Amino acid sequence: MPEIPEEFRDLFERRTFAHVATLTPDGFPHVTPVWIDYDAEANRVLVNTAKGRQKHVNVENDPRVGMSMTDPDDPYRALSVIGEVDEMTEEGAAEHIDSLERRYRGNEEYLHDRTNRIVLKIRPDRVITR
């Protein structure tokens, strides 16, 4: 299984936005900008969302996803992942959104609803870098 190359992992430690594409129940792509994270130990890209949002509904129906991100300092340095959501969990989701809030906005806790959160764990099947 492909992993995120070491030289691109810094993108997950900075305020890099990703665009995640899921498939709607009628087969159309749905693309949303998201805060993004990576669990190197498990080799999973992490997306935190509210339960019931469109991307959550979509991956429950079809786990296939695509994700792309560009380096905020060099838009010609980019990473894309094609894979599947192989796990969804509420466990630790509130703490995870707080950690993303600290990285992206500098606040200690997520400013919106911290309840009803879920982490989508994406298994990379293909990793593309440039």
Please give the average per-residue pLDDT across 86-114, as a whole number. 94
Please give the average per-residue pLDDT across 55-67, as a whole number. 98
Confidence band (pLDDT; 50, 70, 90) for 32? very high
What's the pTM? 0.95
Structural domains in the chain (count): 1
Domain membership flag for residue 1: no
Domain membership flag for residue 35: yes
Confidence band (pLDDT; 50, 70, 90) for 113? confident
Q: What's the CA gap between 65 and 44, in Å, rounded?
A: 13
Average pLDDT of the chain?
96
Dump strand ranges (E) for the chain. Answer: 17-23, 29-35, 37-39, 44-50, 64-71, 74-89, 117-129
**Residues contacting 75, CB < 8 A, separation 6+:** none
Domain membership flag for residue 61: yes
In CATH, what number is assigned to the domain containing residue 100?
A: 2.30.110.10
Domain membership flag for residue 76: yes
Specify the pLDDT at position 114.
Answer: 76
Domain membership flag for residue 121: yes
Domain membership flag for residue 95: yes
Domain membership flag for residue 14: yes
Please give the average per-residue pLDDT across 68-94, as a whole number. 97
Specify the pLDDT at position 112.
Answer: 85
Q: What's the CA gap between 61 and 39, in Å, rounded?
A: 24
**Domain containing residue 78:** 6-129
Specify the pLDDT at position 49.
Answer: 97
Domain membership flag for residue 67: yes
